[in-house]
Structure 1
């Protein structure tokens, strides 16, 4: 276990993305028929911002990346965002502050609590020295792992109880068994 470090940023990214979607749904629910619709309207705006901020995934330390569909469109925006988009300490503080107004109405509590937890995970990632980065050239070079479908089916073991051809096995039909 000498050089094994957990990468918390990918967990924070997934949690933050889901938090943004939950905040959107809770905010939409909170606007209709609940007191404090101002907080719900804020939660809709915050959820949309967080969902867009968390949509692109960062590269791992090894350089590998499983990109989301159309993620490359948001890369220039993430690069222009500067420390707000790349520094995880700033995301930690931002998410903690953005989660506070979401706890004042019932439909938005779950999204606010989830965003608070995502902020804590980003703090753990920042303590580990992680930050958001994507090498655009590496994304262009990635290829699929399979070039063509397999030509032969996978090998299967023989069914259990199958008789081997060299055994002296005789089958007795059930109708001829005595003693029944």
Structure 2
């Protein structure tokens, strides 16, 4: 009797779904994709407002959404392998993301928010392509959330004591000469 309960307990424990760590960092791909989508959405929204396309009021929403996306997505996340390079002036929006805490750190929240915020842009022909692209980027964030990735700030580079770069161009003469026997 005791062996059947332990066998049932181990079988139940084996059924639990645990996703192993992926070799692909989905958040990195999602960040680049959604940031580019924000730029494209901003450009398309500006052109729609300028030329007064039908339903151009949705383009105002698209422009505000593009600004929101660019502010949230501009800071690059630190990578697992610690080889991430920060974007120029990343520290300012990065402070905002660290202050907001789990709202911006959790990729599942970004997944849901980006899908919901892209829906109004699907009703305007000039913003439908960026809206679909934003949904695809949100899907990549969904995969990142599935593999338990989360946003972490990029750590500043530490300087180590390595050999300094040469000051003279090649060919270089040796710094010392061996005494000759002549």
TM-score (norm 2): 0.74
Greater helix share, structure number:
2
Q: Once the two structures are superposed, what CA deviation does each residue of 1:57-105 show, in whole Å capped at 9, x if it has no partner?
A: 0011122211110101222101111222110000000000011111111
Match of 1:17 in 2: 35
Is contact 2:40-2:130 (8 Å) kept? yes
C-alpha deviation, 1:151, in angstroms: 3.6
Q: Does 1:100 align with 2:119?
A: yes
Alignment equivalent of 2:158, drawn from 126, 141, 146: 141
Gaps of 5+ in 2: 1-19, 172-182
Specify whether residues 3 and 75 from structure 1 end up closer, same or farther in structure 2 by C-alpha distance, changes over 3 A only.
closer
Quick check: which has more Rg, 1 or 2? 1
Alignment equivalent of 2:93, drawn from 57, 74, 94: 74
Specify whether residues 4 and 103 from structure 1 end up closer, same or farther in structure 2 by C-alpha distance, changes over 3 A only.
closer
Specify whether residues 146 and 125 from structure 1 end up closer, same or farther in structure 2 by C-alpha distance, changes over 3 A only.
farther
Specify whether residues 70 and 104 from structure 1 end up closer, same or farther in structure 2 by C-alpha distance, changes over 3 A only.
same
Match of 2:174 in 1: none
Match of 1:177 in 2: none
Match of 2:104 in 1: 85
Aligned length: 149
Is contact 1:84-1:90 (8 Å) kept? yes
C-alpha deviation, 1:142, in angstroms: 5.8
TM-score (norm 1): 0.75
